[in-house]
Structure 1
């Protein structure tokens, strides 16, 4: 739920996902970005050269581990994120996707 920059929640979620997928038997079915968390999928994000590029890090994690990165379409539209500026490996979806993921997994973790 946290934006890519300005709070630690998105970075902590990224670190958690990275640690979970590194040499453990665990899997991640879906990473759902909601509220200000949708900013993690904005391709126009351009951090300074000495800052960690969280949007690119999410993309690389998704590519490496074949993860689904879903963004709430309603929250995204309210924040100016549409298909034209959606980063690679992210997809716009509704809350139904979140509900299905919750119903078909054994754990849901929120950051």
Structure 2
């Protein structure tokens, strides 16, 4: 199997290591592992990583970093002023002005009178 296939099975391998696969998914992964030594090697690496991670000491912070209600930021609602209502009209008029400018500039450049 190539690397793309291994990447496609990485979520399943993680769930296999964690023991969260259903019975039929576990049977499917067992079949795939028996057919592909590369996938089996990847499973062994995941198990070794999980074992090493479980041996790490758990860090306890010196203080709590939880913010209270007094730190909550109140987000004001977005402005819906009269200017925003005219934005589509202004956009359309800008495109029309640009087109008129190109026609006039083109006629002056090519002397079409």
Q: Same fold (TM over 0.5)?
A: no
Q: TM-score range by the shorter chain?
A: under 0.3
Scaled by the length of structure 1, what TM-score is found? 0.25
Indicate the structure with greater strand content: 1
Scaled by the length of structure 2, what TM-score is found? 0.24
> Which is greater in Rg?
2
